[in-house]
Structure 1
Amino acid sequence: MSVLPDPGASRAVIIGTSRYDYLEQLPAVSNNLSALAELLSGPLSLRMPASHVTVVENPPDPATVMNPLRQAAEATDTLIVYYAGHGLIDPHDALTLAMPHTQPDRIETSLNYDWLRQILLNSRAQRHIVLLDCCYSGLALGRMSASQGLADHAAVEGTFLLAASAETRTALAPIGDTHTAFTGALLETLRNGIPGGPPVLDLETVYHHLRLTLEARGHPVPQARNRNSGARVALVRNYADLLAAGPIPASADTESAHRLWPDPTSISTVTGFFTCLAGAREVSGLTQQEVSRRSDGRLSAATISKLVNRDTLPATWSTTAAYLSACGVPNDQIQKWHSTWQELRRDTATQETGTRRPDDDNAASGKARHRLSAFWRGRGH
């Protein structure tokens, strides 16, 4: 079953090099980075908090990349790593990622993928998504086509790795195009969806669509590797499918039951709760005004907007229940939503209680004893 990550428990690090001292310039990479970061944080994708998406552009040294990766590795749901730029193969057949000052004959001037890979292996995240949009020098390209592919070099357990295996630099980054060929096709797919595709675009579906699209355009086809069902991870809902389905009829219980509603049981954070809550309206195909009308006057469009854009859980359940019901979510699923809301409320209360450190309690106790002693001394005891 396809899984949309909980954005509150996920992190993304988007890395790219567009300017080089010794290699061909790749100006489109800069556009790749901003567009992908915007998509991951925007309504067309996971709605990840901006603080969970780190962009590292033209890093001057490997540490500039490794430090954000280590911080992002604290994600407990999904860790997304993207790199765009020149990819090289060192004399030991290891993949290296080129940086602005990289010299092809000096491996110490580039980022060894094995360093990045080790962070992924040690990450707390349940799932990893690695997107590599790399091109190669002529020697590396010959070596790659004669032996292992990029995805074989970069494989990590528990990961879906999607790699652009470009045959020439021109094919990877056509002159004058806004994006590189691979990332441009990826962004197009995530934004527009796949007509006739599943309701949620898992990475395996995206990969097969990209192969067909890029091959038809005369560009190199991507490679993919899947470890431990990583192919089932999704970054977006299929908006082509949502448009084709249309708004859910007001009394169509059968159609409501068959729509792929957001799964509240997969939510572990408050951010994820509100992301999935907004997703329920998207799946319904209804506007906020239509949801308001179907709530029999219980919810205004403004109330709905405030509800899905909150950053703290509502203290009462009634408004959320009315919203889900007006969207057409089946009653049995609304009960699951209620259970998730209760669990998150308990977790939030526990965290708030736990913010007081034992040292603080000891200090407070000591102050109280001091005041009490002073009180009795003042009374002559």
Structure 2
Amino acid sequence: MAPGTERIDRSGSHAVLIGVSAYQDPSFPKVAAAEKSLRGVYRMLVDEELGGWSDEQVTPISNPVDCRRVMSDLRRLAQGTSGVLLLYFVGHGTVTMTGDLVLAVSDTVADEPDVTGLEYSKIRSALLGSPAKVKAVVLDCCYSGRAIDVLAGDRQDLADIADIRGTYTLTAADHLAHAGQADTYTAFTGELLGLIGTGVAGGPPVLTFAELYPHLRQRLIARNLPHPNQRGTDTADQCPVARNVSDEPSTTGHGRDSTDASAARQEATSKPIPPTTVRKPPSPPHTGTSDVTQYPSKPAAPFTISWTGKDPLSAYTNSSGMGCLNGFAKVGLAVSSPGVLIPLLMHRITSGTGQDDGWMAWFVLSIVLGLFTLGILLWLSTVTYRLRTNGWSLRVGPQGIATTSSSGRCEYRWNHVRGVTIEEIVAPMKFFDAADFTVKLYKYTGIHIQFTTDGASSSPSRPAGWPPSHPGKIAIRRSGRAGRIPVCVLGPMTDRQRTELKMALKTHAGNLYHEVPTQSMSNLVSVGGGNILAMDQSGNLWRYLAPNYYGSEKTRVGTGWKVMKKLVAIGDSAEDILAIDSSGNMYRYYGPNYYGSQRTQVGTGWDTMTQVTAAGDDTGDIFAVDGSGKLFRYYAPHYRGSQRKQIGTNWNTMKTIVGIRDISGNGTADILAVDGAGKLFRYYAPHYRGSQCKQIGTNWNTMTNLVAIPGIGTTDLLATNATTKIMYRYSGPTYSGTQRKQIGIGW
């Protein structure tokens, strides 16, 4: 055998390669380059002239789902390895609130990565429990929802998080890892494979991690790409990776000529992965004898959920109408109480006294008001009691949809279904039904089915979970030749359960399931009284009325607003707004009509500002952050740059800022800010120093369209979940997620 061609000892070794290019949660963008990177690493390893692994020693897993199954297979393979145990991962990674690294598989939910992803602490345990002499981990991941082409991570050293005693760990980057395009490798894997494919001039005949790392780092830095990191203990960094195929001989006389190197590189990029080895979605399901689990791209198991019926209606309905009416009645009762008690305590309501000085009139009016509001409260309590329901359940499976309730079990098979949607059940219970004043007490969301002609006879009279005593008449949503009939009320559900339900409908119903078009509203601003303006994708400007923000009660107040890239509330009594167009011109539109013919231009060059928000203190001032991260306050009504005041730096680390009412007592607006990791901070006026800010929340990177609205003595927030499109109201000053209230869906 020629010098430099000795085989690397791979006896007792095993490599597990995991690549995730497609994700079910839209919060994780596709990583198209991950598939090619997975194949490239596989081909390099099984190339006899490079990695020297056999096909049986390499287990590639493409787009796996169910992290538990992946961990089970990884643990089993680790237990059977005595030589080198290599784990390679390419895809999205994320960091939990406690700083733990999680590798995202195809069905990982961004809001719950620790229970739906591969926790690195569990991977660490599996590796520590392996009898392998060397454990090597290569991670080509970070996490981001900002751009398809970038994988972003939390501001922590991932190599530190992933460090395991007695093993070697190589990570693509601490913060950002360039993902590459669909027909390329990721930047990190591409440079690693390129380095192995060309070899290290003058290097040893076998390249180890210790030999490769400085050259890999130099190549990445030269291309202005994120810097890699490594951690190694004992002699794990001397683990052989591949033969050195450099054309230039080493100082020990070993090496390969250019013909051999070229052939090896060509083979490394052309050898296909055996179809029996890659874990592709089976169709039909795999029934072979392979000892490695096949990973479907979508969950095949039915989705099941049940509700007890004992949850408050506010937990799963839009009950803002009930809350408004209930609050009005309580205020009326509180106002009337002094009018009854004070005259009695002062002995003004006695025979011969009080009739001439107004005490008796006040007393009588207070009694009438008190009895009226007390009657409303009793009526509302009766309504809530009558709207109680018994338990019910829902199942979505391969055969169709099944529900159970106090009325019995109903089954709706797919061959009798023309379409399935999730939307509001049209049967609102109203307190008043007048054109000028309508209060809808509760609004339910449920599954609707459009039946075929053969299946029309199986349509229910009332959906499962619908209160038996509800006086509202259920309406059929018209759609083509037939209507969509509600078959099941959706009770309290977590964001993850909603995602799983939609995935089950997409999997089992296929083309029968239709996503209800959302309003796709953007540029939400508050314009006084808690009302908001919102712009749809067609450029129409709509006014939504507080406190319910019902789509059925919105009013269009303008068209052609698509040219405006940013709307900013001023907060004055005139309900005026500022609008910035694509050229950076800023205009003032006068409420409540916002006519373009009456607008006034108040500035130019505002396209250099990354964020603009109202000050929140009714002065009409605004806060703005420029491209370098400087925070300025612009003073109304002219907003001149020559009169602005710089009040901070490094604000480009914040993804969202919102001006809110002062609580520090100095009369100047405070600021809420969300950083890249989703942490919510409150910055106190007038200096807005980072050293004095207070963290008051986490996971706010899942929320969009933050709008400050008036609260009771403070500022509340409206925020929309980017995945579920559900709008919530957060009460200030804590903005706790446990106390948030659902306002609407489809935002």
Using the size of structure 2 for normalisation, the TM-score is 0.31
Query: Distance in 2 between the 1:177 and 1:85 partners?
Result: 15
Query: Distance in 1 between the 2:71 and 2:153 partners?
Result: 29
1:230 matched to 2:233? no
Q: 1:138 to 1:105 in 2, by over 3 A?
A: same
Q: 1:176 to 1:18 in 2, by over 3 A?
A: closer
Match of 2:138 among 131, 148, 155: 131
Residue in structure 2 matched with residue 122 of structure 1 by the alignment: 129
Query: Distance in 2 between the 1:188 and 1:110 partners?
Result: 30
Output one character per residue of 1:140-182: Cα deviation in whole Å (capped at 9) or x when no partner. Answer: 95742xxx410111111111110011644xx511235510000
Asked whether the equivalents of residues 13 and 57 of structure 2 are also in contact (C-alpha less than 8 Å), the reply is: yes
Where does the alignment leave 5 or more consecutive residues of structure 2 unmatched?
Answer: 1-5, 261-747
Residue in structure 2 matched with residue 99 of structure 1 by the alignment: 105
Query: Distance in 2 between the 1:185 and 1:56 partners?
Result: 22
Residue in structure 1 matched with residue 157 of structure 2 by the alignment: 149
Query: Distance in 1 between the 2:216 and 2:224 partners?
Result: 12
Paired positions, count: 247
Asked whether the equivalents of residues 51 and 242 of structure 2 are also in contact (C-alpha less than 8 Å), the reply is: yes
* 2:76 counterpart letter in structure 1: Q
1:38 matched to 2:40? no
Query: Distance in 2 between the 1:63 and 1:69 partners?
Result: 10
Asked whether the equivalents of residues 151 and 225 of structure 1 are also in contact (C-alpha less than 8 Å), the reply is: yes
1:197 matched to 2:200? no
Match of 1:62 among 67, 72, 85: 67
Query: Distance in 2 between the 1:238 and 1:127 partners?
Result: 21
Asked whether the equivalents of residues 85 and 98 of structure 1 are also in contact (C-alpha less than 8 Å), the reply is: yes
Where does the alignment leave 5 or more consecutive residues of structure 1 unmatched?
Answer: 247-254, 261-282, 289-381
Output one character per residue of 1:158-212: Cα deviation in whole Å (capped at 9) or x when no partner. Answer: 11110011644xx511235510000011111112111232332110121111111
Query: Distance in 2 between the 1:119 and 1:210 partners?
Result: 28
Asked whether the equivalents of residues 10 and 75 of structure 1 are also in contact (C-alpha less than 8 Å), the reply is: yes
Output one character per residue of 1:290-312: Cα deviation in whole Å (capped at 9) or x when no partner. Answer: xxxxxxxxxxxxxxxxxxxxxxx
Q: Considering Cα pairs closer than 8 Å and 6+ residues apart, tell me whether 1 or 2 has the greater RCO.
A: 1
Asked whether the equivalents of residues 93 and 153 of structure 2 are also in contact (C-alpha less than 8 Å), the reply is: no
Residue in structure 1 matched with residue 179 of structure 2 by the alignment: 173
Query: Distance in 1 between the 2:182 and 2:259 partners?
Result: 38
Q: Secondary structure of the residue that 2:196 maps to in structure 1?
A: helix
* 2:213 counterpart letter in structure 1: Y
Q: 1:28 to 1:166 in 2, by over 3 A?
A: farther
* 2:133 counterpart letter in structure 1: Q
Q: Secondary structure of the residue that 1:120 maps to in structure 2?
A: helix
- Give the drift of 1:259: 4.6
Output one character per residue of 1:304-354: Cα deviation in whole Å (capped at 9) or x when no partner. Answer: xxxxxxxxxxxxxxxxxxxxxxxxxxxxxxxxxxxxxxxxxxxxxxxxxxx
Asked whether the equivalents of residues 136 and 166 of structure 1 are also in contact (C-alpha less than 8 Å), the reply is: no
Q: Secondary structure of the residue that 1:65 maps to in structure 2?
A: helix
Match of 1:239 among 237, 241, 245: 245
Residue in structure 2 matched with residue 291 of structure 1 by the alignment: none
Residue in structure 2 matched with residue 113 of structure 1 by the alignment: 120
Residue in structure 1 matched with residue 212 of structure 2 by the alignment: 206
* 1:63 counterpart letter in structure 2: R
Query: Distance in 1 between the 2:143 and 2:170 partners?
Result: 16
Q: 1:4 to 1:172 in 2, by over 3 A?
A: farther
Bigger fraction of residues in strand: 2
Residue in structure 1 matched with residue 167 of structure 2 by the alignment: 159
Asked whether the equivalents of residues 172 and 182 of structure 1 are also in contact (C-alpha less than 8 Å), the reply is: yes
1:8 matched to 2:28? no
Q: 1:228 to 1:285 in 2, by over 3 A?
A: same
* 2:163 counterpart letter in structure 1: A
* 2:93 counterpart letter in structure 1: G
Match of 1:26 among 27, 31, 35: 31
* 1:115 counterpart letter in structure 2: K
1:219 matched to 2:212? no
Residue in structure 2 matched with residue 72 of structure 1 by the alignment: 77
- Give the drift of 1:65: 1.8
Q: Secondary structure of the residue that 1:7 maps to in structure 2?
A: coil
Q: Secondary structure of the residue that 1:9 maps to in structure 2?
A: coil
- Give the drift of 1:122: 0.7
Q: Secondary structure of the residue that 2:248 maps to in structure 1?
A: helix
Matched ranges for 1:336-351 at <5 A: none
Q: 1:286 to 1:132 in 2, by over 3 A?
A: closer
- Give the drift of 1:67: 2.9
* 1:114 counterpart letter in structure 2: S
Larger radius of gyration: 2
Q: Secondary structure of the residue that 1:161 maps to in structure 2?
A: strand
Output one character per residue of 1:80-112: Cα deviation in whole Å (capped at 9) or x when no partner. Answer: 000011110011110000111222211211110
Bigger fraction of residues in helix: 1
Q: 1:111 to 1:4 in 2, by over 3 A?
A: farther
* 2:50 counterpart letter in structure 1: S
Output one character per residue of 1:345-380: Cα deviation in whole Å (capped at 9) or x when no partner. Answer: xxxxxxxxxxxxxxxxxxxxxxxxxxxxxxxxxxxx
Residue in structure 2 matched with residue 340 of structure 1 by the alignment: none
Query: Distance in 2 between the 1:178 and 1:172 partners?
Result: 11
Query: Distance in 1 between the 2:130 and 2:219 partners?
Result: 33
Asked whether the equivalents of residues 201 and 249 of structure 2 are also in contact (C-alpha less than 8 Å), the reply is: no
- Give the drift of 1:44: 2.9
Residue in structure 2 matched with residue 353 of structure 1 by the alignment: none
* 1:8 counterpart letter in structure 2: S
Query: Distance in 2 between the 1:142 and 1:52 partners?
Result: 31
Query: Distance in 2 between the 1:138 and 1:175 partners?
Result: 16
> Structure 1: which 4+ aligned runs deviate by more than 3 Å?
138-143, 283-288
* 1:6 counterpart letter in structure 2: D
- Give the drift of 1:245: 2.9
* 1:15 counterpart letter in structure 2: I
Query: Distance in 1 between the 2:169 and 2:141 partners?
Result: 13
Q: 1:285 to 1:196 in 2, by over 3 A?
A: closer
- What is the root-mean-square deviation in Å for CA atoms of aligned residues? 2.7
Q: 1:51 to 1:186 in 2, by over 3 A?
A: same
Asked whether the equivalents of residues 15 and 65 of structure 1 are also in contact (C-alpha less than 8 Å), the reply is: no
* 1:158 counterpart letter in structure 2: G
* 2:130 counterpart letter in structure 1: S
Q: 1:141 to 1:28 in 2, by over 3 A?
A: closer
Q: Secondary structure of the residue that 2:102 maps to in structure 1?
A: strand
- Give the drift of 1:51: 1.0
- Give the drift of 1:11: 0.3
